[in-house]
């Protein structure tokens, strides 16, 4: 059978069921907007996670020189020794949970501190006021931090350990839940959409029952009568997918370039580029097309006898 022949059947089918086709297109557009949006949100969150988990460090503070009349910190009796520092570094080298580390001497600490505070405060701080430390990057901060604390807190020459920002971690958790929610929503919309497709095909097939039975009598095979329905569904899904892509682009512009304009410009919230949108839209489209084709096929095979 020739393509032009099938396509003329498809064109007339679409024309005849215009309202249904429009409903299908809009429904698919909204569904794929949700699916694509949820994929996009997920990418955004991954970037955010990546940016911040990458920046989350832990620190080991080394013993400062004891101050007269104050109880020494932790198990510090005296200032840490170079031997203790070297011994720690030897352990870091062998420790699988540690990725990189940097030593910050008492001098470095003060230099850094002075950069972050007003000059008048900075000038009152002298070398020795701030302890030397290691800034350490763990492979997996969530998993390995407790082990890290247990391993290093009580080592000779160590006054304590700390991790940055539990606030940030809470934030990441919340965002993770939002992502899960958007996925659940997308799946619900997707199910509704599959049911709508199945339903539309049944109605369309019933409408054209007379016609298809004549076709069958003249010797059309089953797939010849089914193909137009499948192609119609796929075209509707494709057009819906394109609209969804437009909606996703608009949605992204609106949220990231309007609502979150400043934090995005500062790099606090990572931006999303055309590539991300195409990936999200493309994945949504692909999922949509596969699902639509499968639904159409299954409906025609099992619920409609053409």
Partner 1 sequence: MIRLDNVTKVYPAGARPALDSVSLDIDKGEFVFLIGASGSGKSTVLRLLLREELPTRGSVMVDSRNVGRLPARKVPDLRRKIGCVFQDFRLLPKKSVFENVAFALEVINKSPKTIRRTVPEVLDLVGLTGKAQRMPSELSGGEQQRVAIARAFVNRPLVLIADEPTGNLDPDTSQGIMSLLERINRTGTTVVMATHDNNIVDAMRRRVIELDTGRIIRDQNRGVYGVGR
State which residue, 60 or 227, has the beta carbon closest to partner 1.
227
**Residues in a beta bridge with 163:** 58
Contact between 219 and partner 1 by CB under 8 A: the answer reads yes
Among 123, 154, 170, 221, binds partner 1 (CB under 8 A): 221
Scanning residues 193 to 212, which ones bind partner 1 (CB under 8 A)? 211
Backbone angles phi, psi at 166, to 5 degrees: -70, -25
Which residue is it, tokens 């016609």?
211
Helix (H, G, I), strand (E, B) or coil at 103: strand
Smallest distance, partner 1 to C-beta of residue 24, A: 21
Among 18, 167, 217, 274, binds partner 1 (CB under 8 A): 217
Scanning residues 11 to 50, which ones bind partner 1 (CB under 8 A)? 12, 16
Tokens representing 289 are 């097309």
Among 172, 194, 224, 234, binds partner 1 (CB under 8 A): 224
| Cβ pair 292, 237 in contact under 8 A | yes
CA distance 218 to 228: 17
Q: CB within 8 A of 49, min separation 6: which ones?
A: 172
Smallest distance, partner 1 to C-beta of residue 2, A: 7
Backbone angles phi, psi at 267, to 5 degrees: 85, 10
Among 175, 215, 239, 278, binds partner 1 (CB under 8 A): 215
Smallest distance, partner 1 to C-beta of residue 7, A: 12
- Contacting positions for partner 1 (CB under 8 A): 1-2, 4-5, 12, 16, 211, 214-222, 224
């Amino acid at each position: 059978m020739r393509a032009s022949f099938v396509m003329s059947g498809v064109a007339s089918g679409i024309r005849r069921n215009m309202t249904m086709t429009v409903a299908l297109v809009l429904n698919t557009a909204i569904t794929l907007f949700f699916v694509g949006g949820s994929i996009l949100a997920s990418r955004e969150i991954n970037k955010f996670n990546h940016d911040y988990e990458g920046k989350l460090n832990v620190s080991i503070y080394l013993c400062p020189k004891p101050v007269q009349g104050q109880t020494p910190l932790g198990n510090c009796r005296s200032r840490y020794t170079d031997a203790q520092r070297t011994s720690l570094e030897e352990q870091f080298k062998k420790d699988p949970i540690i990725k990189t580390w940097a030593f910050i001497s008492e001098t470095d600490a003060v230099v850094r501190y002075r950069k972050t505070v007003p000059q008048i405060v900075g000038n009152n701080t002298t070398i020795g006021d701030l302890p030397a430390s290691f800034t350490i990057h763990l492979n997996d901060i969530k998993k390995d931090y407790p082990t890290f604390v247990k391993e290093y807190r009580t080592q000779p020459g160590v006054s304590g350990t700390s991790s940055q920002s539990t606030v940030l971690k809470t934030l990441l958790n919340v965002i993770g839940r939002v992502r899960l929610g958007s996925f659940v929503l997308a799946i619900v919309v997707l199910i509704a959409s599959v049911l709508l497709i199945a339903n539309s095909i049944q109605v369309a097939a019933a409408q054209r029952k007379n016609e298809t039975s004549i076709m069958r009598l003249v010797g059309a095979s089953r797939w010849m009568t089914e193909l137009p329905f499948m192609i119609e569904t796929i075209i509707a899904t494709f057009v819906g997918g394109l609209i969804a892509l437009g909606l996703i682009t608009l949605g992204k512009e609106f949220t990231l370039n309007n609502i979150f304009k400043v934090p995005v410009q500062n790099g606090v919230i990572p931006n999303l580029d055309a590539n991300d949108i195409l990936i999200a839209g493309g994945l949504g489209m692909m999922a949509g097309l596969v699902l639509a084709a499968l639904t159409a096929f299954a409906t025609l095979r099992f619920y409609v006898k053409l």
